[in-house]
Structure formats: C-alpha cells, structure tokens
Chain A
Amino acid sequence: MLTATLGTLGPVLIANRGEIARRIIRTVRRLGLRAVAVYSEADADLPFVTEADEAVPLGLANPAQSYLDVDKVLAAARQTGARAVHPGYGFLAENAAFARAVTEAGLVWIGPSPEAIERMGDKINARNLMEAAGVPVAAGTREPATDLQRAVAAAAEIGYPVMVKTAGGGGGIGMSVAHDEKGLEKAFEQASRAAARFAGAATAGGEGDVLAGPAILLERYIERARHVEVQILGLPDGRVVALGERDCSVQRRHQKVVEESPSPGVTPELRERMLAAAVRAGEAVGYLGAGTVECLVDADKQDFVFLEMNTRLQVEHPVTELVTGLDLVELQLRVAAGENPEVCHEPRGHAIEFRVYAEDPKRFFPGPGKITVWREPADARVDSGYVEGNTVTPFYDPLMAKLCVYGDSRAQAIERARDAVAGFAVEGPKNNLPFCAELLDNAEFVSGDYDTGLVGRMRA
C-alpha cells in the first residue's frame, strides 16, 4: 500500500544492474512508485532496463565508467527527478562517500547511515567494535598487517591455520587460508593484489593513486565451520529486529552458491543466542534498514563468532522472504521513508536458494556467452537478470539468476529443488545447474550436516 510517507520516495533510482535491479524495480512499482534504472552500454538489452519506468545510460561497460561513477549516477537522479536511491548490493552499496553524496544532493539514501557503513566496512574496525559490544569474535589481528613481516608475526601469535583477507574487500575476493608461513606468503601476496584492485576500482581508474600498504586482516581459521548469517532490520525508532538466519555454507572460492533457511546446523538455543548477538551488533552502530550479520558456526560445539557485517540488502535475501512472508525491499523503503513498520515474522517451513552462475560446473571458471535457450521452471521463485536472447558479458559477476524453492520441511524443499533444477533450461553460456543437481544428490548436503568445505570435498 502506498502511504503518504512512502509516496515521498518516488521516483526511486536503482543504482545497480541485473537480477537485483529487476527485483527492486518489482517492489518499487508494486508500491505505486516510479522506478528509474541506470545502465552501462553492455547492459542496454537486459530486462531491468525495459522494466523500469525510465532508464538512463551511464557509459561504458567498465564499472568504473558506469555503475561506480558517482557523478554520473547522481546526474541521472537529477535528470529524472528521482527522490531516493536504492544501491542494491555490490558496486556503490557499501560506499560511504556515495551514501553521503546522495544525502547531500537532497535525496533519500535507502540504506544505513554513511557512518554505520564506514564503521562496518573496515573489517578490522568492525571486529573490534563487535568485541566491545559483547559479540563473540575469532582470535585475530586488531591492527592491520601492512607488510608480510607483520603478518608472519601475527600468524605466529594467532596460530595456524589462518584466514587471510583484505580489510576493505568483499565477496570472498582475495581471501585464502594459510596453513604455514610459506602459505602465508602466497596468501598475503594474493590479498595485497586484491586490495590494490579494490582501491583502483573505488577511485574510478586509480591512475596516480599512491597506495599505502594494503590493510590485511588475519583470523584463526575454523576448519569445519558453517557460515550462518542473521538478517536484521533497524527501525527509525531505534529498535533492531532479527529476522532469522540463513545458512550459506555451500561455497566455492569463499563465495556462496546455495543458501537455506533455517540452518540445519543451528539448534534453537544457539539460534536464540545468535539472533540476540545480531541485534546487539546492529544497536552498537545505530543501524537503520536491512543488514546482515555474518557468523562462523562451529556446529560440533554449537558456538559462533562474528565474521563481518554487510550493510545492505543481501543477494540471498529471498530465502528469508520465503520463510517469513516479508518483502525486505518494501521494508527497506518504508524504513527509509521514516516509517516504523510492524514486522510480524513467524518463520515457517524451509527455503533454499541456488545461485545460477555462468560458469562451468566442474572447475567453476567463468563462461559468459549469448543465451540461446532460457526456460524457467514453474513452481519456483526465479529472480533472474536475463531472458532468452540476452548476452552474459565478462564485465560483471557471473550471477544469472537465483532459483528459490520453498517446502513445509527441508526434505520437501529438497524434493522441489530437484524438480526445479531439472526444469530450468539454460543454453549458451556455461552454467552450474549440473552442479546444483549433483549437490541435491550429495549425501552430506541432504543430511544437513555439512560445512564450508563441502564443495571442496565434492571436487577433490
């Protein structure tokens, strides 16, 4: 329903592309607001461009010259009379300077405050902040390791194996595990390279930038861990609500492939503790809107540690929507408009999401290409960024669609997922649907007793 406060948001500019732009447009329009898309020249034919009420070309395919170009995005907002900006995930979604620029331009930023983004964006800072708020954290560096020597010293103190990652990165890029000093050297180099690339991307080309040493973070690596995250929603009146958890332990290259809710590895007692900690985490930064508190769970010990917080809508938000019946994008919009929606959520049943990537199902290497056949299964929620005839280009991430199923129980959801995966026909680009089918027949996955090492074991 379009309330008076919500009406002040439109038109809403969506500063993103692909499936998430399309998904946000759907809710914006359902609420009676106008949706403005922005797009790069590589994306001109994609459905999110045609489904918006208005679409503004930003420039070249290179993200630095389109989706990451703050001035161009703000110019598009001015040109179309947009009054609010939804950043989606990735690109500028966790860029505090962009959030600030949006607000300074007199527009509504659909997300948390720039200060909250900043405090959570630096993983080392976030970790220290969470520890102070009484949220459990893993043993790790409290100061950035800016050179290999410091990293070696830190690792000796923490104890191997250690997880090495960039303090400012995301999406698993630049992350790796080191089991000894030799491995650390390699992991440190990889993370430094990723840090340099992030810095380059963030400054639209990066030419002439003088980089200080990369900020690298080391943490104790938990061998058989589950990756479980809590969805939170911060309201204008200061309350923070936890909307259940998602299990994201099916990962390749530290990137999620399949997510489910509820987590089969979390007992009611542990869930209660995790949700309470996530609320404390949100309260510690005065969090507003939708956010995700990521944790590592030791399923044997039924214990958890804080990993990081994502200050935006998460890719896998549909599994939460399927078990709660909520529309998280609508809640984001209402909160941004200053409303305090009553969030009733008795999670029911079980939901699973499969990320349909343009990649080969064996080694998971990218395989972009023109889509010659695209047939979505019935009886499933499919959030897709493409239709038949579109081309998946190499410029952006490989996510083509999210295939989401719901069942009264996990067993029923798995059964429905098998049908849905078999009923999804994609030809042209390489795709990982055969991997999804394989996973659904994997005894470990089906049992529910799995951890982040599952995909590695399937490919060993």
Chain B
Amino acid sequence: MAEVHAEMVANVWKVVVKEGDTVEDGDTLVILESMKMEIPVLAEDSGVVAQLKVAEGDVIQEGDLIAVIE
C-alpha cells in the first residue's frame, strides 16, 4: 500500500483517475495547480486506486493525503 501526499499548498485542478482504476508506476493521478503552475501528481507504484481523497476544486495543504494505491 502506498499513500500519496501533497507536497505543497495547491488547488486540485483535474482528477485523472477514479477509485478502482489500475495504475502503473508514473501514471498521473491528479493535476494540482499552484501559483499558475500545473503540477501532476504521479503514482509511485503500480496497483489499484483504493482511495481517492480529493475532488476537483479542493484546496489542499502540504502533507494532505491525496490517494492510496494498493
């Protein structure tokens, strides 16, 4: 199981995957937007998206849980 956390304060611009999706290492899970920059959040492991904790438009803080990959 791998938890994916936010590295910075950001706005969730796009959610690319949904719970239950199978992802490969390096796949984009969500795209954040902070300070006019798009920041893709990538899966660091292959597996299934067990939990997705953010929705488009959410403002997330550094350290917040974005997703759990199992």
For the complex, what is the distance from the CA of A373 to the CA of B37, rounded to whole Å? 25
Minimum CB–CB distance for A56 against chain B, Å: 24
User: Is A168's CB within 8 Å of the partner chain B?
Assistant: no
Known: A366-B34, A366-B37, A366-B39. A394 touches B9 (CB 8 A): yes
Q: Is the CB of A365 within 8 A of B39?
A: yes
Minimum CB–CB distance for B67 against chain A, Å: 19
Minimum CB–CB distance for B4 against chain A, Å: 15
Q: Is the CB of B36 within 8 A of A396?
A: yes
Nearest B-chain residue to A397, judged by Cβ: B36
Interface residues on A, range: 10 to 19
| CB neighbours of A358 from chain B (8 A) | 35
For the complex, what is the distance from the CA of A394 to the CA of B38, rounded to whole Å? 12
| CB neighbours of A173 from chain B (8 A) | 36
User: Is B10's CB within 8 Å of the partner chain A?
Assistant: yes
User: Is A349's CB within 8 Å of the partner chain B?
Assistant: no
Nearest B-chain residue to A90, judged by Cβ: B36
User: Is B56's CB within 8 Å of the partner chain A?
Assistant: no
User: Is B1's CB within 8 Å of the partner chain A?
Assistant: no
User: Is B2's CB within 8 Å of the partner chain A?
Assistant: no
Minimum CB–CB distance for A262 against chain B, Å: 30
User: Is A206's CB within 8 Å of the partner chain B?
Assistant: no
For the complex, what is the distance from the CA of A406 to the CA of B7, rounded to whole Å? 37
For the complex, what is the distance from the CA of A323 to the CA of B34, rounded to whole Å? 35
User: Is A369's CB within 8 Å of the partner chain B?
Assistant: yes
User: Is A136's CB within 8 Å of the partner chain B?
Assistant: no
For the complex, what is the distance from the CA of A178 to the CA of B6, rounded to whole Å? 30
Partner of B8, one of A171, A367, A396: A367
Q: Is the CB of A365 within 8 A of B36?
A: no
Known: A394-B9, A394-B10. A368 touches B35 (CB 8 A): yes
Q: Is the CB of A394 within 8 A of B39?
A: no
Q: Is the CB of A368 within 8 A of B36?
A: no
User: Is A59's CB within 8 Å of the partner chain B?
Assistant: no
For the complex, what is the distance from the CA of A171 to the CA of B38, rounded to whole Å? 13
For the complex, what is the distance from the CA of A248 to the CA of B50, rounded to whole Å? 46
For the complex, what is the distance from the CA of A368 to the CA of B7, rounded to whole Å? 11
Q: Is the CB of A368 within 8 A of B39?
A: no
For the complex, what is the distance from the CA of A266 to the CA of B64, rounded to whole Å? 49
Interface residues of A in 225-269 (CB under 8 A from B): 253
For the complex, what is the distance from the CA of A367 to the CA of B39, rounded to whole Å? 12
Interface residues of A in 315-345 (CB under 8 A from B): none
Per-residue interface assignment for chain A, residues 368 to 382, with 1 indicating a CB less than 8 Å from any chain B CB and 0 otherwise:
110000000000000
User: Is A398's CB within 8 Å of the partner chain B?
Assistant: yes
| CB neighbours of B36 from chain A (8 A) | 171, 173, 396-398
Per-residue interface assignment for chain B, residues 1 to 22, with 1 indicating a CB less than 8 Å from any chain A CB and 0 otherwise:
0000001111100000000000
Q: Which 4 A-B pairs have the closest CB atoms?
A: A366-B35, A398-B35, A366-B34, A394-B34
Interchain Cβ contacts under 8 Å between A and B, 7 examples: A365-B7, A365-B37, A366-B35, A366-B39, A369-B9, A394-B11, A396-B35
Enumerate chain A interface residues (CB-CB to B < 8 A).
171, 173, 193, 253, 358-359, 365-369, 393-398
